[in-house]
Structure 1
Amino acid sequence: MIEVLNRLVDEIELSSGGQVDIDVVAGGLGTTGYHLRRMFSSLAGMPVSEYVRRRRMTVAASDVIDGEDLLTIAVRYGYSSVEAFGRAFRSVHGASHGDVRRDGGPLRPQPILRFRLTVEGSSAMEARIIEKPMFRLIGHAARVPLIHEGVNPHIQQHIASLPIEAHARLKAMSSGQPRGLLQVSADVDPDSTEGSELTYLHGVAVDADFEVPTDLDEIAVAAGPWVVFRTSGSYPAALQSAYAASATEWFPSNPWRLRPGPSIVAVLDRAQDFSTATCELWFPIERA
């Protein structure tokens, strides 16, 4: 995976500021655009689209300083107008192209990324592979923004809005792995852009032929393998660390990749104030 990510970076540089079709690049490297985007954002700390934009504006800065016609520069880097180019330029460098042309700066260049293998995994992640037939996730869903660190207040608000009896009702419907009340994230932006919207479902897993009550939302889940990580400790910090470690340690070391589908958190045990918890983190996967 490290080699694949570095090849992607090379393709971005070869594009000279043009458009990069991630799905085409991924297919040529023997993986999928979905998995490549997810791994890039997890390891680089930014979506690949953001990295492309930053590199594009880094290279464009030299053309601006050289005094070339601004519309010509804008079109070269994929913008239809000087105004659109100017907004992108300022968002990266914190200064207008006029200021940079006049003063030579300030500039905030984006260095070329290089992914390197470091010695990790001194303590193995506890994981197991499970093959599951088609099933459904049912419950109460809401659209919420993605937040990378800490408790998501929008999810908290959604759960708090449900009456107490709704939780017991859902738990009684649970009929398969993962068991119990679940935290489901679906329709997640493959770039994992913070602030992008996802579907959060507070619910349970049921068999594919389960008759779903009309007042509940549902997500149909295709048959296939899943990787399940167990994590224990401070909540949600330990769980978020497991998300990160899956990208930095487990996926690069194992012949599996992510496939489209929801991620699921099952809380197996927790402190009364939810300050600590033992959880399972489920990801849909396929052979790499």
Structure 2
Amino acid sequence: MIAALNKVVSFIEERLDEEIDVVELTRELGTTEYHLRRMFSSLAGMPLSEYIRRRRMTVAAAEVLAAGDLLGTAVRYGYGSTEALNRAFRAVHGISPAEARHHGGPLQSQPQLRFHLTVEGNAPMETRITDRPGFRLIGHSARVPLIHEGINQHIQAHIASLPELEHARLKSLSDAEPAGILQVSADVDPDYTEASELTYLHGVAVTETTPVPEDLSVIELPAGAWAVFRTQGPHPEALQSTWAATATEWFPSNPWRLRPGPSIVAVLDHAADFSTATTELWMPVERASHLS
């Protein structure tokens, strides 16, 4: 994966003033756009689209300062008008092209990225791969913003809004792995952008033939492999740390890649105040032809 990401960076650099076809690139690299975007965002700390915009505006700034034709610069870097260029330029640099020309800056430069893999090996990840037949996730869903660190208050509010007896009813419906009450994140932005919306489902797993009450939302999952990461410690910090480590350590070192689908958290045990917990993080995966 690290080699593939560096090829992506080189590919982008050669085409800053051209249309960048990420789908075609992923085919050449033997991976998928979904996996590539998720890994890029996790390792770079920004979505792939944002990196492309920052690099384009870094290079375009030299033309702006040289008093080049703004419309020509806009078209060259994929923007249909000077207004669109102005918005992108301000989003990256914090000032307009006109202000940059008048004052000379300040300008925010985005260096060309270089990815390196460092595996310390001092914190082994407890992982298993399980092949599962098709199953369903059922429960109560809500649209919430993605939050990378700390407690997601929107998810907490959604769970708190459910009647106490509803948790017991959901648990009684569970008849498939992963067992028990589950925290499901679906429809997640492939770029994993902070504050982007996702579907959160508080529910359980059932077989494809289990009758589903009409008041519950349903997520249908096809047969496939899942990587299951066990975590233990402060909650949700330990879980979020493991989530990040899947991208920085596990996927680059193993012949698996993410496939589209929800991520599932099963809480196996927890303190009364939920300050600590033992969890399993389920991520849908497929075997890669090589470490990509």
Q: TM-score, normalised by structure 1?
A: 0.98
Runs of 5+ consecutive residues of structure 2 not aligned to the other structure: none
What's the CA shift for 1:130? 0.3
Alpha-carbon distance in 2 for matches of 1:157, 1:182 = 16
What are the residue-to-residue correspondences of 1:157-168 with 2, within 5 Å?
157-168=157-168
**SS state of the match for residue 267, structure 2?**
strand
Q: Aligned ranges for residues 70-89 of structure 1 at < 5 Å?
A: 70-89=70-89
* Code of the aligned partner of 1:159: I
What is the deviation of 1:122?
A: 2.2
Amino acid at match of 2:15: S
Other-structure match for 1:251: 251
TM superposition shift of 1:83: 1.2
Aligned amino acid, residue 103 of structure 1: H
Q: Provide the residue aligned with 1:150 in structure 2.
A: 150
Amino acid at match of 1:227: A
The alpha-carbon deviation at position 19 of structure 1 amounts to 2.8
The secondary structure found in structure 2 opposite 1:115 is coil
- Is contact 1:136–1:219 with CA below 8 Å preserved after alignment? yes
Contact kept, 8 Å, 1:17 with 1:55, in 2: the verdict is no
CA contact (8 A) 2:119 2:249 kept: no
In structure 2, the partner of 1:185 is 185
- Aligned partner of 1:124: which letter? P
Whether the 8 Å CA contact 1:17–1:59 is kept in 2: the answer is no
Preserved contact between residue 146 and residue 194 of structure 1 (Cα < 8 Å):
yes
Report the Cα distance in structure 1 between the residues aligned to 2:185 and 2:19, rounded to whole angstroms: 30
What's 1:117 paired with? Answer: 117
In the TM superposition, residue 119 of structure 1 has moved relative to its aligned partner by 3.3
Given residue 126 of structure 1, which amino acid in structure 2 is its aligned partner?
Answer: E
CA contact (8 A) 2:34 2:258 kept: yes
Q: How far is 1:126 from its partner?
A: 0.3
* Residue matched to 1:222: 222
1:8 is displaced (CA, Å) by 0.3
**Secondary structure, aligned partner of 2:261:** coil
Letter of the aligned partner of 1:24 in structure 2? E
Deviations 1:204-242 (A, max 9, x none): 000011111111000000101100000011111110001
**1:103 Cα deviation after fit:** 2.3
- Corresponding position of 1:278: 278
Q: Using the alignment, how far apart are the partners of 1:87 and 1:74 within structure 2?
A: 11
Amino acid at match of 2:192: S
| SS of residue matched to 2:278 | strand
**Following TM superposition, by how much is the alpha carbon of 1:24 offset from its aligned partner in structure 2, in angstroms?**
1.3
Name 1:57's counterpart in structure 2: 57
Q: Secondary structure at the match of 2:188?
A: coil
Is the partner of 2:108 in helix, strand or coil? Answer: coil
| Residue 41 of structure 1: how far off its partner (Å) | 0.4
Q: Alpha-carbon deviations, 1:229-282, whole Å to 9, x = none?
A: 000111111100011000011000100000000100000000111111110000
Are 2:67 and 1:67 aligned? yes
Establish whether residue 42 from structure 1 lines up as the match of residue 67 from structure 2. Answer: no
Q: C-alpha displacement at 1:168, in angstroms?
A: 0.3
Percent same amino acid at aligned positions? 67
Shift of 1:160: 0.6
What per-residue deviation string (whole Å, max 9, x for no partner) do you get for residues 155-195 of structure 1? 11110110011100000011111000000000101000111
- Regions of 4+ moved over 2 Å: 16-19, 119-123
Of 202-211 and 118-127, the range deviating more from structure 2: 118-127
1:123 shift after superposition: 2.2
Tell me, in whole angstroms, the C-alpha distance in 2 between the residues paired with 1:22 and 1:75: 20
Partner amino acid, structure 1, of 2:255: P
Alpha-carbon distance in structure 1 between the residues aligned to 2:176 and 2:17: 49
Residue in structure 2 matched with residue 16 of structure 1 by the alignment: 16
1:118: Cα distance to partner?
1.6
Q: Which runs of 5+ in 1 are unaligned?
A: none
Asked if the contact 2:235–2:275 (Cα under 8 Å) also holds between the matched residues in 1, the reply is yes
Question: Do 1:37 and 1:190's aligned partners in 2 also have CA atoms closer than 8 Å?
Answer: yes
**How many matched pairs?**
288
Q: Which residue of 2 aligns with 1:101?
A: 101
Q: What is the Cα deviation at residue 21 of structure 1? A: 1.9
